[in-house]
Amino acid sequence: MYVEEIIPSRRWRHVSGRTASPYGASPWTGAPGNTREDWTLETSGFTWRMSNGTIGLGRPPAATREEAESIARQVNARSGRTFPL
């Protein structure tokens, strides 16, 4: 498994501060206080799209693209690949 791409790290944020992944089901249920209008999609740092389709490396997103690229080079070096591909 290796890093194919660096992408913006995105997540849903509720007005209460709760967060949810954008890669699963929508986080709102339609109940009062939990409608689409109560959630915003925000971008925070950069994460990695892996060769098997996984998003992320099981660690917090990198703060900058340069940091994410450095980590991608380290991960890909373990599998004998270079980054960028």
Confidence of residue 3 (pLDDT cuts 50, 70, 90): very high
pLDDT for res 14: 97
Q: What is the DSSP code string of 54-78? A: -BS-SSPPBSSHHHHHHHHHHHHHH
Q: What is the pTM of this model?
A: 0.81
pLDDT for res 85: 64
Angle at 82 between CA 76 and CA 63, to 5 degrees: 60
DSSP state of 51: T
Amino acid 28 reads W
In this prediction, residues 5-21 reach a mean pLDDT of 96
- In this model, does residue 83 exceed pLDDT 90? no
* Distance separating the N- and C-terminal Cα atoms of the chain: 13
Confidence of residue 82 (pLDDT cuts 50, 70, 90): confident
pLDDT per residue as tens digits for the range 19-65? 999 988 999 999 999 999 999 999 999 999 999 999 999 999 999 99
Beta carbons of 5 and 49 less than 8 angstroms apart: yes
